[in-house]
Chains A and B, each alone.
Chain A
Amino acid sequence: DQQVKQNSPSLSVQEGRISILNCDYTNSMFDYFLWYKKYPAEGPTFLISISSIKDKNEDGRFTVFLNKSAKHLSLHIVPSQPGDSAVYFCAASGGTYKYIFGTGTRLKVLA
């Protein structure tokens, strides 16, 4: 039972345009969400997070939106840059110190 789903395995975007990566979850107990970025042969690196008490969190070019009623979060990258090409994972946690990860979306930003 996949509690955190990233239904798009891959996404291609032109440089300078917006990248939107989506994540859905099923467990209503989740109250903290994170996005990680992963380059080949490296460990995931933390990008941005959001608590369920907020519906938006922004950090430079990265914004995460949370829609609790739809159990959906999205990561917006504006403007997209070639260096953003990587695999992006969303993760969720709910009152425990365990995190459930999605399967990842491979983003390719075309120059």
Chain B
Amino acid sequence: DAGITQSPRHKVTETGTPVTLRCHQTENHRYMYWYRQDPGHGLRLIHYSYGVKDTDKGEVSDGYSVSRSKTEDFLLTLESATSSQTSVYFCAISGTGLAGGDTQYFGPGTRLTVL
């Protein structure tokens, strides 16, 4: 199994509060991703990173920001949590990030509930 951990694994918070989720990898992979999983929507990309300090938006990035100051850590921040951000969040990593041979490996997930 790829060395990916996520913290916290579960969190309950209130609307309007800031929340930061952490993804940590020990694989020295260049690419890191944040997804959310919701019923009927599958896995949707929020943000991704292609190197330290290099990030870009995915398909559902509104209300989220990310930071990557070290190769091994990728942080996802909800500046002001809303109930629509209640979801399960997955971090993923890949090596080359190139289509045609690369595979993404996923962390165990963080279940976030916004009341």
Contact = CB atoms under 8 A, between A and B. Distances in A.
B42 A104 contact: yes
Q: How large is the interface on B (under 10, 10 to 19, 20 to 34, 35 or more residues)?
A: 20 to 34
Interface string B91-109: 0001011111111111111
Contacts of B90: 43-44
A95 B99 contact: yes
Given A32-B99, A44-B90, A89-B43, A99 B104 contact: yes
B74 interface: no
Interface of B: 4, 31, 35, 40-45, 48, 50, 58, 90, 94, 96-109
Interface of A: 6, 31-32, 34, 36, 41-46, 49, 51, 89, 91, 93-104
